[in-house]
């Protein structure tokens, strides 16, 4: 229509109803609706003045208009948006490159399947706006895994302007296989030879410029960890986008006479079909048809001449398989690797002096058949012990700060519901949970280190046999360990498991992995009732979750998912020392999520819980206690015995008020179900509110117990819990009750977000409801056995 960069546009007039608008461009008039015209970027004289003013080049005279050439130069720079897709194998440094280039804070993990969805970022470079998409890591563009299908679909449907194929320079042969498939798709590419420093450190020599000319694809050495070569990479992307790169050309990989003949025959048939989009390479479709790709077959069946196309495909595949004595997909795979081998023979020279790498040295111990398990368990124990012991110090500082804020509000505000809401509801509820932020950050630091260093993949390798006994993959172990951080991304990470049965079992048992939201409850109770063995109790709880997950996986495999699994194949990447920046970014992201939850779900829940525990204000029982308190206070100066009586009456009043409050009524209704587990009404209520988010359990206990604070300030929650008693004087919380409670929290109802993720990933509400049902029943059964058996043991032997 003539609306191209650098051409003058003149507004002629508006239609009588102000829409459409008549424009003059390239010597002819054109009418555009106002909504459509807004999609076209235009540089005006006013915008020119603003730009000059911002640049401070020279004083601006509003009466002097810019020249046509000046406006044209601005227009040529404006609106240049380049859509870039990052495609590469897992562990090739793709997400690190994305983070460095776009400034995004996506977490980087050194194992397959960290990126289970596309991540988008935008940044400016040399007058261009780059919209960059980090696609899931994939080894090929076949139709076996969700990642492969996702990447292929994105490239076909979104059609990015330029694809950056991120290649691990230290493992060229494997990484270039994906490059060959991108060449078949006729994608405009730039290859980032990432981790080039590792190639040089190994003493290998690579003439990438020669290979670049051979493939017709620009290649740029990069080290995304440090940022080396990133600017040069995007300079080259601009050249490719502007079609000004001297190397860029499209080639066809020669697959040999027999395969090429089959491609040619099917290609000729496809050209007769007018409905196939011109943007999709027909050569690529021909290859995928010969490989019997199910997704492409499904697409082809929608065309009118589908039957003739598939008949031609069948005829050619039969001929190829008869001549080559192997199926077509294997033939193409061999041909691609043959092409790669030939190209690397001319351009790549491997260092013949083979040295023992640090990875091989570390794996001698870490993956040893005897030492592997003890090292893994030791690492997990250190993780939990440090989480508790080191976390105690900043936890105490935050607790002190929360207490100071609470005391300030208590001493400066006049008595009334608003004061009680702020002090007991908001500060007591949210403050009771925020103190555990350091523990969660320490836990995520350890998990981040395991992911980034490559140890997570070794943990999957060590656990594969156990996973297989459960009817799962070694790959299932990665989402299960991620579940220690948060169940929601762990459920999403289960997409990397090829077998649907293994994927479903993994999702169903993931809620038994103790996420960081449960950690505040463990730290609170284990610190109060098991102060000397807190780290060991934490480890025991996590191991209990793993043990229960094994049992339930066996049950699900036996009764729900009986089909055989697919083989376990997973890359063991080289060890890499994680950067402090990567770990800190990961911790910062989790801190933001946690604090966001403080100001959202937990704040709202704390206010609701406070309201339910505060009202109704007065009852006949409380009035009678008030009368007794008044009688004691009439005496004047109180003796120590009278002060103790007064303290008991006030404590009794607080207890009666809580029992008669709305939340007390709810707790009393739940009491018959949970009393066999050793839980009182306060614990019952906290478990009910914890269904929204597990941190709310601590928040609820804080709000309920803060009502018993004396005038000297609010005592620590753990102290109040230890001092709480029933009417007959027996303690509400004991070490056995605390253990039963922690086990119940470990197992029961996963949070709403986790249930939603299971529903989304499984594609059915029934699995979300199933998880809710089985976890609640299992939690009740386990806590019942622990509490009743423990009580019996104590009665008989202690």
Q: Which residue has the tokens 């940044």?
A: 123
pLDDT over threshold 80, residue 555: yes
Cα dihedral 258→262→268→273 (10° resolution): -170
Residues facing residue 191 across a β-bridge: 165, 219
- The H-or-E segment that residue 168 falls in is strand 162-168
**Among residues 741, 635, 618, which one has the least CA distance to residue 679?**
741
CA distance 46 to 8: 15
Give Cα 380 to chain centroid, integer Å: 21
Helix (H, G, I), strand (E, B), or coil: what is residue 119? strand
Give Cα 754 to chain centroid, integer Å: 12
Task: Give ∠ CA 333-338-342 in degrees, rounded to 5.
Answer: 155
pLDDT over threshold 60, residue 194: yes
Q: Check residue 60 and give its pLDDT.
A: 47
Encoding tokens for residue 203? Answer: 């003493």
By 3-state DSSP, what share of the chain in percent is helix, strand and coil, each rounded to 5? Answer: 60, 10, 30
For 298-320, how does the pLDDT look when each residue is reduced to its tens digit (9 = 90+)? 888 887 778 888 888 999 999 99
Q: Check residue 207 and give its pLDDT.
A: 93
CB contact at 8 A, 252 and 267 = no
For 664-678, how does the pLDDT look when each residue is reduced to its tens digit (9 = 90+)? 788 788 888 889 999
For 423-450, how does the pLDDT look when each residue is reduced to its tens digit (9 = 90+)? 776 777 677 667 767 877 887 788 778 8
b (16+ CB within 10 A) / e for 450-486: bbbbbbbbbbbbbbbeebeebbbbbbbbbbbbbbbbb
Q: Note the residue count of the chain.
A: 798
Q: Which residue has the tokens 């040089």?
A: 200
Helix (H, G, I), strand (E, B), or coil: what is residue 576? coil
Detail the DSSP E strand segments found in 224-360.
Answer: 348-349
Mean pLDDT of the chain: 80
Instruction: Over range 107-119, report the average pLDDT.
Output: 53
Q: Which residue has the tokens 């994906």?
A: 178
For 6-43, how does the pLDDT look when each residue is reduced to its tens digit (9 = 90+)? 667 777 777 776 678 777 776 677 777 776 676 666 76
Highest mean pLDDT among 307-311, 582-586, 714-718, 775-779: 775-779
Cα dihedral 498→502→503→504 (10° resolution): 140
pLDDT over threshold 60, residue 566: no
Q: Check residue 607 and give its pLDDT.
A: 79
Catalogue the long-range contacts made by 619-626 (C-beta closer than 8 Å, 24 or more residues apart): 619/656, 619/657, 619/660, 621/656, 621/660, 622/653, 622/656, 622/657, 622/660, 625/649, 625/652, 625/653, 625/656, 626/653
Task: Give ∠ CA 526-666-426 in degrees, rounded to 5.
Answer: 60
Cis peptide before 726 (omega within 30 of 0): no
Least confident residue range of 350-359, 604-613, 683-692: 350-359
Give 639's DSSP letter.
P
CB contact at 8 A, 62 and 55 = no
Measured between alpha carbons, how far is residue 484 from residues 100, 184, 491, 688, 783 in Å?
27, 41, 12, 22, 21
Q: Check residue 261 and give its pLDDT.
A: 92
CA distance 475 to 498: 9
Q: Check residue 189 and give its pLDDT.
A: 94
Q: Check residue 147 and give its pLDDT.
A: 76
Instruction: Over range 247-252, report the average pLDDT.
Output: 89
Least confident residue range of 56-65, 452-461, 577-586: 56-65
For 770-792, how does the pLDDT look when each residue is reduced to its tens digit (9 = 90+)? 999 999 999 999 999 999 999 99
At residue 287, what are phi and psi to the nearest 5 degrees?
-65, -45
Q: Check residue 154 and give its pLDDT.
A: 87
Q: Check residue 46 and give its pLDDT.
A: 64
CB contact at 8 A, 714 and 428 = yes
Kindly report the number of other CB atoms within 10 A of residue 669's CB atom: 13
User: Please, which pLDDT band fits residue 508 given cuts at 50, 70 and 90?
Assistant: very high
Least confident residue range of 120-124, 151-155, 376-380, 585-589: 585-589
CB contact at 8 A, 457 and 571 = yes
What is the share, in percent, of the chain residues with pLDDT greater than 70?
82
CB contact at 8 A, 695 and 433 = yes
Which tops the pLDDT comparison, 459 or 229?
Answer: 229
CA distance 292 to 567: 21
DSSP alpha helices (H): ranges in 132-281? 146-158, 172-184, 196-201, 208-215, 230-241, 257-270
- The H-or-E segment that residue 790 falls in is helix 765-797
CA distance 424 to 503: 44
pTM: 0.62
CB contact at 8 A, 545 and 746 = yes
CA distance 435 to 402: 8
CA distance 462 to 373: 7
Instruction: Over range 753-778, report the average pLDDT.
Output: 87
CA distance 479 to 490: 5
* DSSP letter string, 509-557: HGGGS--GGGHHHHHHHHHHH-TTSHHHHHHHHHHHHHHHHHHHHHHHH
CB contact at 8 A, 188 and 220 = no
Instruction: Over range 194-216, report the average pLDDT.
Output: 90
Give 495's DSSP letter.
G
Q: Check residue 729 and give its pLDDT.
A: 80
Q: Check residue 714 and give its pLDDT.
A: 39
Q: Check residue 35 and give its pLDDT.
A: 67
CA distance 276 to 285: 10
CA distance 86 to 98: 8
Q: Check residue 69 and give its pLDDT.
A: 66
pLDDT over threshold 90, residue 361: no
Q: Check residue 770 and give its pLDDT.
A: 94
Residues facing residue 162 across a β-bridge: 84
Which tops the pLDDT comparison, 233 or 3?
Answer: 233
Cis peptide before 343 (omega within 30 of 0): no
């Amino acid at each position: 229509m003539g609306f191209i960069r650098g051409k003058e546009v003149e507004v002629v007039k508006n239609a009588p109803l102000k829409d459409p608008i008549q424009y003059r461009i390239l010597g002819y008039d054109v009418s555009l609706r106002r909504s459509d015209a807004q999609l076209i970027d235009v540089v005006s004289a006013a915008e020119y003045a603003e730009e000059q003013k911002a640049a401070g080049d020279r004083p601006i005279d509003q009466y002097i208009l810019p020249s046509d050439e000046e406006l044209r130069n601005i227009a040529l720079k404006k609106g240049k948006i380049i859509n870039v897709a990052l495609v590469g194998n897992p562990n090739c440094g793709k997400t690190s490159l994305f983070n460095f280039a776009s400034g995004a804070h996506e977490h980087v993990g050194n194992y397959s399947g960290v990126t289970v969805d596309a991540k988008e970022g935008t940044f400016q470079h040399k007058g261009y706006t780059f919209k960059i998409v980090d696609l899931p890591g994939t080894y090929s563009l076949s139709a076996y895994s969700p990642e492969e299908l996702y990447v292929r679909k994105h490239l076909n449907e979104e059609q990015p302007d330029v694809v950056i194929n991120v290649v691990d320079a230290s493992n060229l042969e494997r990484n270039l296989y994906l490059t060959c498939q991108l060449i078949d798709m006729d994608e405009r590419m730039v290859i980032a030879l990432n981790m080039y420093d590792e190639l040089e450190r190994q003493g290998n020599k690579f003439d990438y410029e020669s290979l670049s000319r051979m493939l017709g694809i620009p290649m740029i050495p990069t080290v995304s960890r440090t940022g080396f070569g990133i600017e040069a990479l995007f300079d080259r992307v601009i050249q490719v986008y502007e079609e000004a790169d001297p190397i860029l050309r499209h080639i066809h990989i020669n697959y040999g006479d027999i395969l090429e003949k089959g491609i040619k025959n099917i290609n000729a048939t496809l050209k007769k079909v007018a409905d196939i989009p011109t943007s999709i390479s027909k050569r690529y479709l021909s290859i995928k048809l010969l490989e019997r790709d199910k997704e492409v077959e499904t697409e082809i069946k929608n065309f009118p001449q589908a039957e003739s196309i598939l008949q031609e495909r069948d005829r050619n595949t039969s001929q190829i398989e008869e001549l080559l004595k192997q199926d077509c997909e294997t033939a193409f795979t061999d041909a691609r690797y043959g092409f790669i081998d030939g190209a690397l023979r001319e351009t790549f020279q491997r260092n013949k002096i083979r040295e023992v790498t640090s990875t091989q040295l570390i794996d001698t111990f870490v993956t040893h058949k005897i030492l592997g398990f003890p090292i893994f368990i030791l690492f997990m124990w250190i993780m939990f012990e440090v989480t508790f012991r080191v976390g105690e110090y900043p936890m105490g500082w935050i607790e002190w700060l929360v207490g100071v804020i609470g005391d300030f509000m208590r001493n400066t505000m006049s008595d009334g519901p608003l004061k009680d809401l702020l002090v007991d509801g908001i500060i007591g509820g949210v403050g009771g949970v925020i103190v555990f932020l350091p523990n969660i950050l320490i836990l995520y630091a350890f998990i981040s280190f395991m992911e980034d260093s490559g140890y997570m993949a070794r943990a999957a390798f060590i656990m594969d046999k156990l996973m297989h006994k459960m009817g799962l993959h070694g790959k299932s172990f990665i989402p299960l360990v991620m579940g220690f951080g948060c169940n929601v991304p762990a459920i999403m990470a289960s997409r990397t498991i090829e077998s649907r049965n293994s994927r479903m079992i993994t999702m169903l048992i993931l809620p038994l992995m103790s996420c960081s939201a449960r950690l505040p409850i463990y730290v609170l109770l284990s610190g109060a009732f098991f102060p000397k063995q807190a780290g060991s109790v934490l480890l025991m709880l996590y191991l209990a979750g793993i043990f229960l997950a094994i049992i339930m996986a066996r049950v699900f495999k036996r009764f729900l998912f009986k089909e055989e699994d697919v083989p376990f194949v997973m890359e063991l990447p080289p060890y890499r020392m994680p950067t402090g920046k990567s770990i800190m970014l990961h911790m910062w992201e989790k801190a933001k999520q946690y604090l966001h939850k403080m100001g959202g779900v937990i704040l709202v829940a704390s206010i609701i819980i406070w309201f339910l525990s505060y009202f109704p204000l007065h009852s006949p029982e409380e009035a009678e206690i008030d009368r007794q308190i008044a009688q004691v206070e009439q005496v004047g100066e109180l003796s120590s015995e009278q002060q103790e009586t007064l303290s008991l009456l006030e404590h009794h009043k607080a207890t009666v008020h809580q029992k008669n409050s709305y939340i007390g009524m709810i707790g009393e209704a739940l009491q018959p179900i949970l009393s066999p587990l050793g839980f009182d009404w306060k614990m019952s209520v906290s478990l009910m509110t914890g269904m929204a988010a597990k941190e709310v359990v601590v928040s609820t206990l804080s709000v309920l117990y803060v009502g018993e604070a004396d005038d000297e300030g609010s005592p620590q929650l753990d102290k109040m819990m230890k001092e709480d008693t029933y009417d007959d004087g027996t303690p509400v919380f004991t070490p056995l009750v605390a253990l039963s409670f922690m086990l119940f929290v470990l197992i029961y109802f996963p949070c709403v977000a986790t249930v939603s993720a299971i529903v989304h990933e499984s594609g059915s509400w029934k699995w979300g409801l199933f998880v809710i049902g089985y976890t609640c029943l299992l939690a009740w059964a386990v806590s019942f056995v622990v509490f009743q058996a423990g009580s019996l043991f104590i009665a008989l032997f202690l």
